[in-house]
Amino acid sequence: MTKRAAVDSLELSTDSPASKRARVQGAPDNDAAPPPPTKAQHPNGNDAKLAEANAADGEYDDDDDDAPIASSRQKAPATGYEDVYLDTIERQRLDFDFEKLCSVTLSNINVYACLVCGKYFSGRGPKTPAYFHALEIGHHVYINMETKKVFVLPDGYEVKSKSLDDIKVVVDPRFTPAEVKALDKREEPCWDLTGKKYTPGFVGLNNIKANDYLNVVVQALAHVPPLRNFFMLEDLSSRPQLAQRFSILLRKIWNPKAFKSHVSPHELIQEISLRSSKKFLLTEQADPVEFLSWFLNHLHLSLGGSKTKPQSSLIQKIFQGSLRVESQKISARADAGDRLRFEDAEIKSQTTPFMILTLDLPPAPLFQDDTDRNIIPQVPLTTILQKYNGVTAQERMNTRMRYRLMHPLPPYLIMHVKRFQPNKFLQSQRNPTIVTFNPRALDVSRYVEPNPSLHPTNEPLIYDLVANITYEGVKVRDDSVEGEAERKVWKAQVREGAGRQQWWETQDLFVERVNADLLATKESYIMVWERRKTSKASTKAE
């Protein structure tokens, strides 16, 4: 069989191909005369200024060699397409509580959040994770976590729609002085995106693994009005990250326009872990009073406070008081008589500042009662406060100690009920004694050294309870020794508004109302008391 002739000729051209040269951006072509430079292309023209502005706004990476080429991207949406892609935003998937780190590079510079899936990416120019995410996944709307500007990628133009204001409020809530003043007077509840009702300021805090000790301390401090108002209103952009992250956490707790009815303290605890050299972590439970002491001291330093000068920051002005401590060595004389009696000739006295008052509990009973049931002892708060009356003596090793509060007392008193003591086996042993108290009208004048120049002698000093952190032990195994396999559960009881007797109890994400009469039925661990500003006549009426 003969082959069919080809319709077209199969012969190839014998001419040599044109030689290829490496293309250098900006190099003129030798075969053609270079065009005259325009104003937009001039080195001192608008193109250089635009590239510089885009780089400052985080559009390009440091290693992006094609940055000048990208200056031809859209600066604004086309007419009639201003709201394109905004319908792809999924507000229920947005969570801005976690640390602002790129999910690809772990960088914290120029971080953008995808408003479709909620993930964090760095940059928005070519060769950046956000740019590739927009091309590969098809998510186009991003918000800068620092400037709160919204952009559409990969086009690169900014969106200035008013419909995005609610997202900007959730990213970084801001309050006016009038709004902060009205926080304690709010009565109507708010609603999140899932239709769940919540009250601003009384929301749950996420327990990521074992950070419940931090949650209860934050809940207590969030209801100290002078501290809360300062961190919600002041500009702390020049302060260390610890103060900034605590400020934004408080603003999110009190945000009436939140997308969800709980907040995660992830950003704050990551900074705390770094500053404390991993002493306080989200994976290991710690003692709330140890964390509270560390946190207040470092907040004091973050606000410019001095290590030696008292009352040098807002923290010390709110919580710091002074205490007179008298000490005397115990001698083994045969005629000593009363072992705890002080002899004036040998007393050493000094005044020291404090921010937390430690209260000692009486020893718990060792035996059961007649019905073979464990006795849960009770002691009034006024009884264990006798430690600070200046008369009761205590033994510390080979030294007698006496304590007395001094004027002026701080606006807020923090009391720590010391429940845990190490036993002979070097394990922490809990004292289950219940401390009974009235959350209103605690008179502490009998424990303060009289000073007529600062406070009238016969006038009482009244404090009202603001927050109460309680402890609850839950056994892990039934066959374990008491206290050996006990899981610690911390709860915070906080007061709603000044002058009210409505209380909330929070345990991580669980928030519920609690009766004021039941506050003293739990094992109190840390109490925050607020000094009442009332006249003498109204105090007696109380």
The 10s digit of each residue's pLDDT in 466-492 is 999 999 988 766 555 444 567 889 999
Q: Per the domain annotation, does 299 fall within a domain? A: yes
* Structural domain includes residue 38: no
* Residue at which a domain ends, from 170, 189, 210: 170
Does residue 308 share a domain with residue 192?
yes
Q: Are residues 338 and 449 in the same domain?
A: yes
Q: Tell me: do 410 and 530 sit in the same domain.
A: yes
Task: Give the span between the Cα atoms of 336 and 344, in whole angstroms.
Answer: 14
pTM: 0.81
Do 256 and 280 share a domain, yes or no?
yes
Give the CATH number of the domain where residue 422 resides: 3.90.70.10
69 domain-assigned: no
Q: Are residues 364 and 512 in the same domain?
A: yes
List of residues 6+ apart from 411 with CB closer than 8 A? 226, 317, 318, 530, 531
Same domain assignment for residues 379 and 517: yes
pLDDT computed for residue 485 by the predictor: 60
Phi, psi of 434 (to 5 degrees): -85, 130
Write out the residue range of the structural domain in which residue 409 sits.
321-354+356-541
375 shares a domain with 471: yes
- What local confidence, expressed as pLDDT, does residue 363 receive? 85
CA distances from 421 to 293, 363, 430, 435, 486 (A): 18, 11, 7, 17, 15
Residue 233 lies in a domain: yes
Domain count of the fold of the chain: 3
Instruction: State how far the Cα of 437 lies from the Cα of 417, in Å rounded to an integer.
Output: 13
The enclosing domain of 111 has a CATH number of 3.30.40.10
**Residues lower than pLDDT 70 in the chain:** 1-82, 331-345, 366-374, 423-427, 476-485, 498-499, 534-542
Structure confidence at residue 425 (pLDDT): 63
Ramachandran area for residue 409 (φ above 0: left; ψ -120 to 50: alpha; else beta)? beta
pLDDT tens column, 425-437: 656 788 889 999 9
Same domain, 406 and 450: yes
pLDDT attached to residue 28: 46
Residue 42 lies in a domain: no
Is residue 381 located within the same domain as residue 432?
Answer: yes
Residue 53: inside a domain: no
Describe the chain by its helix, strand, coil percentages, rounded to 5. Answer: 25, 25, 50
Check residue 187 and give its pLDDT.
79
Residue 26 within a domain: no
Verify that 277 and 341 share a domain, yes or no: no
SS (H, E, C) 230-292: HHHHCCCCCCCHHHHHHHHHHHHHCCCCCCCCEECCHHHHHHHHHHCCCCCCCCCCCCHHHHH
Whether 105 and 149 share a structural domain: yes
Residues 345 and 408 in one domain: yes
